[in-house]
Amino acid sequence: MTSTHTRADGLRAFDRTTAVWGPVTMGLGLLISLFAALYVAFWSGLGIQGAELWTAVGAVLATFAIVAVIEPISYYPILGRSAMYQAFMIGNISNKLLPAAIVAQANLGEKPGTRRAELIAGSAIIGAVLVHIVTLIALVGALGTWLVSILPAELIAVARLYILPAIFGAVLLQVIVSMKAVRTTVIAVVVACLVVYVLVPAVPATAYFGTAIAVVVTIVLAWALRDRASASGTTSADEEAAR
């Protein structure tokens, strides 16, 4: 009993710390990023006009505003709150941090969405960043130019064409295996196919919003068509474990 209370107290303290320092750190990162951009725009002497600045801001918002809403919704069930702060401060979430978190959770037998899975995700992100920094210094900083010079041009072209789909395919498969949610997986695949092969060709204007449409529709259908009896049993088990 004492061990359970100690663990619960530790998690509550961890949540309070995350709730304070997570937004503070993200806010500082935003200010630093904006300061660099504003310095270039207004104090670098490049003669950038206000209209040009707002045109550029509008173009960025039109491109990434939907992604800025969809990505947190998509990543949160796997990463949890604390790991989300880490991931969005570091970047390269979909092709580096998310795969690391999923693989770590799967290897430790933890299903995404639990407190333990959140802590595992945070630890995996730290490991991924350390490995990335070491390999970046060694393979890119020290050996990057030499490695590119000895690789065949055909190999480089093929790598550029297939490496991103290969990463996303591996991540998708790992998510499906670790979640073990057949109903939700089928819904997601059907919705994605309908959006890509039916909606977008029929209404080309929806191409920029295809990902957002697929995610939102999948969430709504997965919730509406969920196994209510199973979900109720899982909730009761989680509540009992929390006690």
Q: What is the pLDDT of residue 54?
A: 83
Judged against a pLDDT cut of 90, whether residue 143 lies above it is answered with no
Residue spans of the domains in the chain: they are 49-179, 181-243
Judged against a pLDDT cut of 80, whether residue 5 lies above it is answered with no
Q: Are 26 and 89 in contact (CB under 8 A)?
A: yes
Task: Note the pLDDT tens digit of each residue in 88-112.
Answer: 888 888 778 888 888 888 888 888 8
pLDDT band at 242, cuts 50/70/90? very low
In three state form, how does the secondary structure of the chain look? CHHHHHHHHHHHHHHHHHHHHHHHHHHHHHHHHHHHHHHHHHHCCCCCCHHHHHHHHHHHHHHHHHHHHHHHHHHHHHHHHHHHHHHHHHCCHHHHHHHHHHHHHHHCCCCCCCHHHHHHHHHHHHHHHHHHHHHHHHHHHHCHHHHHHHCCHHHHHHHHHHHHHHHHHHHHHHHHHHHCCHHHHHHHHHHHHHHHHHHHHHCHHHHHHHHHHHHHHHHHHHHHCCCHHHHHHHHHHHHHHHC
Judged against a pLDDT cut of 50, whether residue 243 lies above it is answered with no
Judged against a pLDDT cut of 90, whether residue 194 lies above it is answered with yes
Dig out the tokens for 161 from the structure: 């064409």
Q: What is the pLDDT of residue 2?
A: 61
Q: What is the pLDDT of residue 24?
A: 92
Q: What is the pLDDT of residue 4?
A: 67
The better pLDDT of the pair 209, 29 is held by 29
- Record the pTM: 0.62
Residue for token pair 């951009």:
37
Residue for token pair 């995404």:
112
pLDDT band at 170, cuts 50/70/90? confident
Average pLDDT over residues 74-99: 86
Average pLDDT over residues 66-74: 80
Task: Note the pLDDT tens digit of each residue in 8-62.
Answer: 778 888 888 888 998 999 899 888 888 888 888 777 777 777 787 788 888 777 7
Question: What percentage of the chain carries pLDDT values higher than 90?
Answer: 12
Q: What is the pLDDT of residue 1?
A: 55
Judged against a pLDDT cut of 80, whether residue 216 lies above it is answered with yes
Cβ-count burial of 212 within 10 angstroms (0-12 exposed, 13-18 middle, 19+ buried)? Answer: middle
Type of residue numbered 50: G
Q: Are 83 and 121 in contact (CB under 8 A)?
A: yes
Dig out the tokens for 207 from the structure: 């191409």
Q: Are 138 and 69 in contact (CB under 8 A)?
A: no
The better pLDDT of the pair 86, 7 is held by 86
Q: Are 26 and 85 in contact (CB under 8 A)?
A: yes
DSSP state of 209: G
Give the whole-angstrom CA distance, residue 15 versus residue 83.
12
Judged against a pLDDT cut of 90, whether residue 125 lies above it is answered with yes
Give the whole-angstrom CA distance, residue 173 versus residue 99.
10
Question: What is the phi/psi pair of residue 110, to 5°?
Answer: -115, 130
- Mean pLDDT of the residues in the chain: 81
